[in-house]
Amino acid sequence: MQIADRLTKIPPYLFMELRKKIAKAKADGVDVISLAIGDPVEPTPTSIIEELYRTACNPENHRYPTDEEKGMLAFRKEVAVWYKNRYGVTLDPENEILGLIGSKEGCHHFILARINPGDVVLMTDPGYPAYRASILMGGGIPYNVPIRPENGYLPVFEDIPSDVVKKARGMFLNYPNNPTGACVTRPFLDKLVAFAKANDIAVCYDNPYSEVVFAGQERLSFLSAPGAKEVGVELNSLSKPYNMTGWRLGMAVGSPELIAAISKVKENTDSGIFNAIQFAGIQALKNETPNIEKMMAIYTRRRERVLKTLDKIGIKFNPPKGTFYLWIPTPKGMGSLEFTNQLFEKTGVVVASGTAYGQYGEGFIRISLTVPDNRLEEAMARIEKAFA
Protein backbone atom coordinates (compact mmCIF):
# COMPACT_ATOMS: atom_id res chain seq x y z
CA MET A 1 0.00 0.00 0.00
CA GLN A 2 1.42 3.41 -0.95
CA ILE A 3 1.62 5.89 1.90
CA ALA A 4 1.93 9.58 1.01
CA ASP A 5 5.46 11.02 0.90
CA ARG A 6 4.37 13.87 3.15
CA LEU A 7 4.01 11.41 6.03
CA THR A 8 7.37 9.74 5.52
CA LYS A 9 9.04 13.14 5.93
CA ILE A 10 7.78 13.43 9.49
CA PRO A 11 10.58 12.36 11.86
CA PRO A 12 10.09 9.24 13.97
CA TYR A 13 8.66 9.66 17.40
CA LEU A 14 11.58 9.85 19.80
CA PHE A 15 9.67 8.37 22.72
CA MET A 16 9.23 5.09 20.84
CA GLU A 17 12.31 3.41 22.29
CA LEU A 18 11.38 4.56 25.76
CA ARG A 19 7.82 3.33 25.29
CA LYS A 20 9.07 -0.15 24.55
CA LYS A 21 11.18 -0.07 27.69
CA ILE A 22 8.25 1.15 29.75
CA ALA A 23 6.01 -1.64 28.45
CA LYS A 24 8.68 -4.21 29.28
CA ALA A 25 9.33 -2.75 32.74
CA LYS A 26 5.60 -2.76 33.52
CA ALA A 27 5.36 -6.38 32.38
CA ASP A 28 8.27 -7.15 34.76
CA GLY A 29 6.29 -5.60 37.62
CA VAL A 30 8.08 -2.20 37.87
CA ASP A 31 5.91 0.60 39.30
CA VAL A 32 6.49 3.14 36.51
CA ILE A 33 5.84 6.84 37.19
CA SER A 34 5.56 9.05 34.11
CA LEU A 35 6.48 12.73 34.38
CA ALA A 36 6.70 12.97 30.61
CA ILE A 37 3.28 14.16 29.48
CA GLY A 38 1.62 17.56 30.02
CA ASP A 39 -1.97 16.60 30.71
CA PRO A 40 -3.62 17.88 33.92
CA VAL A 41 -4.86 15.04 36.15
CA GLU A 42 -7.31 17.14 38.16
CA PRO A 43 -10.86 16.89 36.75
CA THR A 44 -12.64 19.54 34.72
CA PRO A 45 -14.62 21.80 37.13
CA THR A 46 -18.08 20.37 37.83
CA SER A 47 -20.06 23.36 36.54
CA ILE A 48 -18.53 22.87 33.08
CA ILE A 49 -19.52 19.20 33.03
CA GLU A 50 -23.03 20.12 34.19
CA GLU A 51 -23.36 22.68 31.40
CA LEU A 52 -22.27 20.06 28.88
CA TYR A 53 -24.91 17.67 30.20
CA ARG A 54 -27.64 20.30 30.26
CA THR A 55 -27.00 21.46 26.71
CA ALA A 56 -26.35 17.95 25.38
CA CYS A 57 -29.92 17.07 26.47
CA ASN A 58 -31.32 19.62 24.02
CA PRO A 59 -32.04 17.90 20.67
CA GLU A 60 -31.31 21.15 18.83
CA ASN A 61 -27.69 20.64 19.76
CA HIS A 62 -27.60 17.14 18.28
CA ARG A 63 -27.54 18.56 14.80
CA TYR A 64 -24.56 19.98 12.91
CA PRO A 65 -22.94 22.76 14.96
CA THR A 66 -24.18 26.34 14.59
CA ASP A 67 -21.89 28.52 12.39
CA GLU A 68 -19.89 25.40 11.58
CA GLU A 69 -16.79 27.00 10.14
CA LYS A 70 -16.42 29.75 12.77
CA GLY A 71 -17.91 28.44 15.99
CA MET A 72 -21.09 29.70 17.67
CA LEU A 73 -21.36 33.48 17.92
CA ALA A 74 -22.13 33.14 21.65
CA PHE A 75 -18.83 31.28 22.13
CA ARG A 76 -16.90 33.83 20.07
CA LYS A 77 -18.49 36.67 22.07
CA GLU A 78 -17.38 35.04 25.32
CA VAL A 79 -13.85 34.66 23.95
CA ALA A 80 -13.88 38.40 23.21
CA VAL A 81 -14.94 39.19 26.80
CA TRP A 82 -12.25 36.84 28.16
CA TYR A 83 -9.51 38.41 26.02
CA LYS A 84 -10.58 41.87 27.18
CA ASN A 85 -10.60 40.84 30.84
CA ARG A 86 -7.44 38.74 30.84
CA TYR A 87 -5.19 40.69 28.43
CA GLY A 88 -6.89 44.01 27.70
CA VAL A 89 -7.17 42.98 24.04
CA THR A 90 -10.22 44.06 22.02
CA LEU A 91 -11.50 41.54 19.46
CA ASP A 92 -14.39 41.61 17.03
CA PRO A 93 -16.28 38.30 17.43
CA GLU A 94 -17.51 38.59 13.83
CA ASN A 95 -14.19 38.47 12.04
CA GLU A 96 -11.32 38.22 14.52
CA ILE A 97 -12.25 35.03 16.40
CA LEU A 98 -12.64 31.44 15.31
CA GLY A 99 -13.49 28.35 17.41
CA LEU A 100 -11.00 25.48 17.14
CA ILE A 101 -10.82 21.82 18.09
CA GLY A 102 -7.86 22.69 20.33
CA SER A 103 -4.88 24.85 19.46
CA LYS A 104 -3.07 21.89 17.87
CA GLU A 105 -5.62 21.91 15.08
CA GLY A 106 -4.97 25.60 14.59
CA CYS A 107 -1.24 24.98 13.97
CA HIS A 108 -2.07 22.67 11.11
CA HIS A 109 -4.74 24.91 9.60
CA PHE A 110 -2.51 27.97 9.85
CA ILE A 111 -0.06 26.23 7.51
CA LEU A 112 -2.77 25.21 5.05
CA ALA A 113 -4.20 28.71 5.12
CA ARG A 114 -0.96 30.61 4.62
CA ILE A 115 1.90 28.48 3.26
CA ASN A 116 2.61 27.48 -0.33
CA PRO A 117 4.78 24.45 -1.12
CA GLY A 118 8.44 25.45 -0.82
CA ASP A 119 7.84 28.37 1.54
CA VAL A 120 10.10 28.44 4.58
CA VAL A 121 8.45 28.44 8.00
CA LEU A 122 10.48 29.44 11.04
CA MET A 123 10.02 27.51 14.25
CA THR A 124 11.88 27.59 17.51
CA ASP A 125 14.19 24.74 18.50
CA PRO A 126 13.53 23.30 21.03
CA GLY A 127 9.84 23.50 20.19
CA TYR A 128 6.51 21.72 20.16
CA PRO A 129 6.95 18.82 17.69
CA ALA A 130 3.54 19.37 16.02
CA TYR A 131 4.89 22.53 14.31
CA ARG A 132 7.39 20.56 12.22
CA ALA A 133 4.78 17.95 11.34
CA SER A 134 2.27 20.62 10.28
CA ILE A 135 4.85 22.46 8.17
CA LEU A 136 5.94 19.26 6.42
CA MET A 137 2.39 18.06 5.80
CA GLY A 138 1.61 21.42 4.24
CA GLY A 139 4.63 21.25 1.90
CA GLY A 140 6.57 23.95 3.73
CA ILE A 141 10.23 23.86 4.71
CA PRO A 142 10.85 24.07 8.46
CA TYR A 143 13.77 26.20 9.61
CA ASN A 144 14.93 25.76 13.20
CA VAL A 145 15.60 28.97 15.05
CA PRO A 146 17.64 28.08 18.15
CA ILE A 147 16.41 29.36 21.48
CA ARG A 148 19.14 29.30 24.09
CA PRO A 149 19.21 29.77 27.85
CA GLU A 150 21.61 32.73 27.58
CA ASN A 151 18.92 34.62 25.61
CA GLY A 152 16.11 33.66 27.97
CA TYR A 153 15.06 31.01 25.40
CA LEU A 154 13.91 33.75 23.03
CA PRO A 155 14.83 33.76 19.33
CA VAL A 156 17.40 36.28 18.17
CA PHE A 157 15.95 37.57 14.89
CA GLU A 158 19.23 39.19 13.79
CA ASP A 159 20.92 35.76 13.83
CA ILE A 160 18.55 34.22 11.25
CA PRO A 161 20.38 34.22 7.88
CA SER A 162 18.95 36.84 5.52
CA ASP A 163 18.37 34.36 2.65
CA VAL A 164 16.22 32.27 5.03
CA VAL A 165 14.28 35.33 6.19
CA LYS A 166 13.62 36.27 2.55
CA LYS A 167 12.02 32.90 1.86
CA ALA A 168 10.12 32.71 5.15
CA ARG A 169 6.35 33.27 5.00
CA GLY A 170 5.42 32.05 8.46
CA MET A 171 6.71 31.59 11.99
CA PHE A 172 5.58 29.53 14.97
CA LEU A 173 6.24 30.88 18.45
CA ASN A 174 4.95 29.67 21.79
CA TYR A 175 5.39 31.61 25.06
CA PRO A 176 4.91 30.63 27.87
CA ASN A 177 7.05 28.04 26.17
CA ASN A 178 6.77 24.31 25.95
CA PRO A 179 9.29 22.83 26.71
CA THR A 180 11.48 25.52 28.38
CA GLY A 181 8.87 27.37 30.49
CA ALA A 182 10.23 30.70 29.22
CA CYS A 183 7.97 33.76 28.99
CA VAL A 184 8.17 36.85 26.80
CA THR A 185 8.27 40.52 27.67
CA ARG A 186 6.32 43.30 25.95
CA PRO A 187 9.46 44.71 24.26
CA PHE A 188 10.09 41.28 22.72
CA LEU A 189 6.54 41.19 21.32
CA ASP A 190 7.11 44.65 19.77
CA LYS A 191 10.29 43.33 18.16
CA LEU A 192 8.44 40.29 16.85
CA VAL A 193 5.75 42.46 15.24
CA ALA A 194 8.39 44.68 13.61
CA PHE A 195 10.33 41.63 12.32
CA ALA A 196 7.17 40.04 10.89
CA LYS A 197 5.99 43.26 9.28
CA ALA A 198 9.36 44.06 7.71
CA ASN A 199 9.66 40.59 6.18
CA ASP A 200 6.06 39.64 5.34
CA ILE A 201 6.17 36.75 7.80
CA ALA A 202 2.81 35.67 9.22
CA VAL A 203 3.10 34.86 12.92
CA CYS A 204 1.31 31.90 14.44
CA TYR A 205 1.60 32.68 18.13
CA ASP A 206 0.62 29.46 19.85
CA ASN A 207 -0.44 30.50 23.34
CA PRO A 208 -2.22 27.62 25.14
CA TYR A 209 -0.18 28.29 28.32
CA SER A 210 -1.06 31.99 28.44
CA GLU A 211 -2.71 31.45 31.83
CA VAL A 212 -0.19 29.00 33.23
CA VAL A 213 2.29 31.43 34.81
CA PHE A 214 3.76 31.61 38.29
CA ALA A 215 3.68 34.52 40.74
CA GLY A 216 5.40 37.64 39.44
CA GLN A 217 4.96 36.83 35.76
CA GLU A 218 2.60 38.97 33.67
CA ARG A 219 0.00 37.12 31.57
CA LEU A 220 0.47 38.24 27.99
CA SER A 221 -1.24 37.90 24.66
CA PHE A 222 0.70 38.44 21.45
CA LEU A 223 -2.18 40.69 20.39
CA SER A 224 -1.42 43.13 23.17
CA ALA A 225 1.50 44.33 21.02
CA PRO A 226 0.47 47.23 18.75
CA GLY A 227 0.19 46.05 15.13
CA ALA A 228 0.10 42.34 16.02
CA LYS A 229 -3.33 41.86 14.46
CA GLU A 230 -1.92 42.90 11.11
CA VAL A 231 0.80 40.26 11.10
CA GLY A 232 -0.63 37.15 12.66
CA VAL A 233 -2.93 35.06 14.73
CA GLU A 234 -2.80 33.79 18.27
CA LEU A 235 -3.99 30.28 19.08
CA ASN A 236 -5.36 29.61 22.52
CA SER A 237 -7.11 26.78 24.24
CA LEU A 238 -9.27 25.74 27.16
CA SER A 239 -7.18 22.56 27.55
CA LYS A 240 -4.69 23.72 30.15
CA PRO A 241 -6.35 26.51 32.20
CA TYR A 242 -9.62 24.62 32.71
CA ASN A 243 -8.30 21.00 32.75
CA MET A 244 -10.10 20.28 29.50
CA THR A 245 -7.49 18.58 27.31
CA GLY A 246 -9.90 15.82 26.33
CA TRP A 247 -12.70 18.18 25.34
CA ARG A 248 -10.86 19.64 22.35
CA LEU A 249 -11.82 23.29 22.46
CA GLY A 250 -9.72 26.29 21.52
CA MET A 251 -9.67 29.47 19.47
CA ALA A 252 -7.73 31.40 16.87
CA VAL A 253 -7.80 35.18 17.26
CA GLY A 254 -6.22 38.02 15.35
CA SER A 255 -5.77 39.05 11.71
CA PRO A 256 -9.20 39.02 9.99
CA GLU A 257 -7.54 37.92 6.74
CA LEU A 258 -5.90 34.91 8.36
CA ILE A 259 -9.01 34.11 10.38
CA ALA A 260 -11.06 34.06 7.17
CA ALA A 261 -8.47 31.84 5.47
CA ILE A 262 -8.33 29.38 8.39
CA SER A 263 -12.12 29.38 8.47
CA LYS A 264 -12.13 28.40 4.78
CA VAL A 265 -9.80 25.48 5.55
CA LYS A 266 -12.11 24.37 8.38
CA GLU A 267 -15.22 24.76 6.25
CA ASN A 268 -13.70 22.20 3.90
CA THR A 269 -12.25 19.90 6.55
CA ASP A 270 -14.56 19.47 9.53
CA SER A 271 -18.06 20.52 10.44
CA GLY A 272 -17.27 22.44 13.58
CA ILE A 273 -17.39 21.77 17.30
CA PHE A 274 -20.32 20.05 19.07
CA ASN A 275 -22.55 22.89 20.31
CA ALA A 276 -22.75 21.44 23.83
CA ILE A 277 -18.95 21.60 24.11
CA GLN A 278 -19.04 25.23 23.05
CA PHE A 279 -21.73 25.97 25.67
CA ALA A 280 -19.55 24.24 28.26
CA GLY A 281 -16.65 26.39 27.02
CA ILE A 282 -18.73 29.53 27.58
CA GLN A 283 -19.35 28.37 31.14
CA ALA A 284 -15.59 27.85 31.63
CA LEU A 285 -14.58 31.24 30.28
CA LYS A 286 -17.38 33.06 32.12
CA ASN A 287 -17.35 31.44 35.54
CA GLU A 288 -14.44 29.09 36.10
CA THR A 289 -11.47 31.40 35.99
CA PRO A 290 -10.88 30.82 39.75
CA ASN A 291 -9.89 27.28 38.68
CA ILE A 292 -6.76 28.77 37.15
CA GLU A 293 -5.55 30.17 40.47
CA LYS A 294 -6.40 26.89 42.17
CA MET A 295 -4.31 24.99 39.61
CA MET A 296 -1.43 27.46 39.82
CA ALA A 297 -1.28 26.95 43.60
CA ILE A 298 -1.01 23.19 42.98
CA TYR A 299 1.69 23.59 40.31
CA THR A 300 3.61 26.02 42.52
CA ARG A 301 3.69 23.48 45.33
CA ARG A 302 4.79 20.67 42.99
CA ARG A 303 7.42 22.85 41.36
CA GLU A 304 8.94 23.65 44.75
CA ARG A 305 9.00 19.95 45.52
CA VAL A 306 10.90 19.08 42.32
CA LEU A 307 13.35 21.97 42.79
CA LYS A 308 14.11 20.69 46.30
CA THR A 309 15.07 17.29 44.89
CA LEU A 310 17.14 18.80 42.08
CA ASP A 311 19.02 20.87 44.62
CA LYS A 312 19.71 17.74 46.68
CA ILE A 313 21.16 15.90 43.69
CA GLY A 314 23.33 18.86 42.69
CA ILE A 315 21.32 20.29 39.76
CA LYS A 316 21.01 24.02 40.36
CA PHE A 317 19.21 26.39 38.02
CA ASN A 318 16.79 29.25 38.01
CA PRO A 319 13.71 28.08 36.12
CA PRO A 320 11.60 30.53 34.10
CA LYS A 321 8.08 31.29 35.28
CA GLY A 322 5.71 29.76 32.76
CA THR A 323 3.96 26.46 31.97
CA PHE A 324 3.75 23.36 34.12
CA TYR A 325 7.02 22.02 32.76
CA LEU A 326 10.51 22.15 34.20
CA TRP A 327 13.31 22.21 31.63
CA ILE A 328 16.24 20.80 33.53
CA PRO A 329 19.92 20.69 32.57
CA THR A 330 21.35 17.17 32.68
CA PRO A 331 24.26 16.44 35.02
CA LYS A 332 27.60 17.49 33.54
CA GLY A 333 28.80 15.39 30.64
CA MET A 334 25.58 13.44 30.29
CA GLY A 335 23.44 13.51 27.13
CA SER A 336 19.66 13.90 27.33
CA LEU A 337 18.81 10.37 26.26
CA GLU A 338 21.53 8.86 28.42
CA PHE A 339 20.20 10.67 31.51
CA THR A 340 16.58 9.87 30.63
CA ASN A 341 17.44 6.19 30.28
CA GLN A 342 19.55 6.11 33.43
CA LEU A 343 16.81 7.81 35.40
CA PHE A 344 14.31 5.26 34.19
CA GLU A 345 16.52 2.24 34.83
CA LYS A 346 17.46 3.37 38.35
CA THR A 347 14.09 4.71 39.49
CA GLY A 348 11.28 3.68 37.14
CA VAL A 349 10.58 7.41 36.58
CA VAL A 350 9.95 8.49 32.99
CA VAL A 351 10.88 12.01 31.86
CA ALA A 352 11.02 13.51 28.38
CA SER A 353 14.44 13.76 26.74
CA GLY A 354 15.19 17.31 25.57
CA THR A 355 16.12 15.94 22.15
CA ALA A 356 12.45 15.07 21.53
CA TYR A 357 11.96 18.84 21.03
CA GLY A 358 14.83 19.45 18.62
CA GLN A 359 18.60 19.37 18.38
CA TYR A 360 18.99 22.35 20.73
CA GLY A 361 17.17 20.35 23.38
CA GLU A 362 20.33 18.28 23.88
CA GLY A 363 21.59 18.62 27.44
CA PHE A 364 18.11 18.96 28.94
CA ILE A 365 15.20 16.87 30.16
CA ARG A 366 11.60 17.98 30.65
CA ILE A 367 9.50 17.16 33.70
CA SER A 368 5.77 17.79 33.74
CA LEU A 369 4.00 18.77 36.97
CA THR A 370 0.69 17.25 35.88
CA VAL A 371 0.89 14.19 38.13
CA PRO A 372 -0.87 13.54 41.44
CA ASP A 373 1.06 14.84 44.46
CA ASN A 374 1.61 11.38 45.95
CA ARG A 375 3.13 10.08 42.69
CA LEU A 376 5.38 13.12 42.39
CA GLU A 377 6.47 12.66 45.99
CA GLU A 378 7.29 9.01 45.32
CA ALA A 379 9.18 9.90 42.12
CA MET A 380 11.26 12.55 43.90
CA ALA A 381 12.03 10.21 46.82
CA ARG A 382 13.30 7.58 44.35
CA ILE A 383 15.44 10.11 42.48
CA GLU A 384 16.98 11.41 45.72
CA LYS A 385 17.79 7.87 46.80
CA ALA A 386 19.38 6.97 43.47
CA PHE A 387 21.32 10.16 42.73
CA ALA A 388 22.04 12.03 45.99
Select from 180, 239, 255, 355 the one that contacts ligand PLP (CB under 6 A): 239
**Residue selected from 82, 128, 188, 339 as contacting ligand PLP according to rule CB under 6 A:** 128
Residue 250 touching ligand PLP (CB under 6 A) = yes
List the one residue out of 117, 83, 86 whose CA is nearest residue 98: 83
Strand extents, DSSP E, 68-186: 97-100, 120-125, 141-146, 168-173
Least separation in angstroms between residue 106's CB and ligand PLP is 8
Candidates 55, 199, 221, 245; binder of ligand PLP (CB under 6 A) is 245
Task: Indicate whether 103 belongs to the interface with ligand PLP (CB under 6 A).
Answer: yes
Name which of 118, 104, 207 is nearest 168 in CA terms: 118
Applying CB under 6 A, the span of 100-108, 267-275, 288-296, 359-367 interacting with ligand PLP comes to 100-108
Query: Which window, 80-88, 99-107, 189-197, 357-365, contacts ligand PLP (CB under 6 A)?
Result: 99-107
Cα distances from 76 to residues 57, 189, 242, 316, in angstroms, run 22, 25, 17, 44
Residue nearest to ligand PLP (CB): 102
C-beta closer to ligand PLP: residue 303 or 382: 303
Examine residue 368 and tell whether it contacts ligand PLP (CB under 6 A).
no
- Taking CB under 6 A as the rule, does residue 129 contact ligand PLP? no
Tell me the helices (H) and strands (E) count for the chain, helix number first.
Answer: 14, 12
Least spacing, CB of residue 208 vs ligand PLP, in Å: 5
- Residue 329 pairs with which residues in a beta bridge? 364
CA–CA dist 117, 158 (Å, integer):
25
Nearest to 282 by CA among 78, 109, 45: 78
Applying CB under 6 A, does 178 fall inside the site for ligand PLP?
yes
Binder among 67, 69, 96, 206 for ligand PLP (CB under 6 A): 206
Pick the stretch among 101-109, 163-171, 220-228, 372-380 that binds ligand PLP (CB under 6 A): 101-109
Return d(Cα 164, Cα 140) in angstroms, integer.
13
Q: Are 132 and 158 in contact (CB under 8 A)?
A: no
Binding residues for ligand PLP, rule CB under 6 A, total: 13
Q: Tell me which residues in 35-94 interact with ligand PLP (CB under 6 A).
A: 38
Q: In the set 104, 109, 169, 303, which binds ligand PLP (CB under 6 A)?
A: 104
Residue 208 interacting with ligand PLP (CB under 6 A): yes
Task: Say whether 383 sits in a helix, a strand or coil.
Answer: helix
Say whether residue 174 binds ligand PLP (CB under 6 A): yes
User: What residue spans of 28-72 are helical by DSSP H?
Assistant: 46-56
Integer angstrom CA distances of residue 9 from 4, 12, 54, 104? 9, 9, 45, 19
DSSP structure class, residue 245: G
Angle at 156 (CA atoms; ends 153, 162), nearest 5 degrees: 145
Q: In the complex, what is the shortest distance from the CB of residue 11 to ligand PLP, in angstroms, rounded to a whole number?
A: 17
Where does this chain bind ligand PLP (CB under 6 A)?
Answer: 38, 102-104, 128, 174, 178, 206, 208, 237, 239, 245, 250
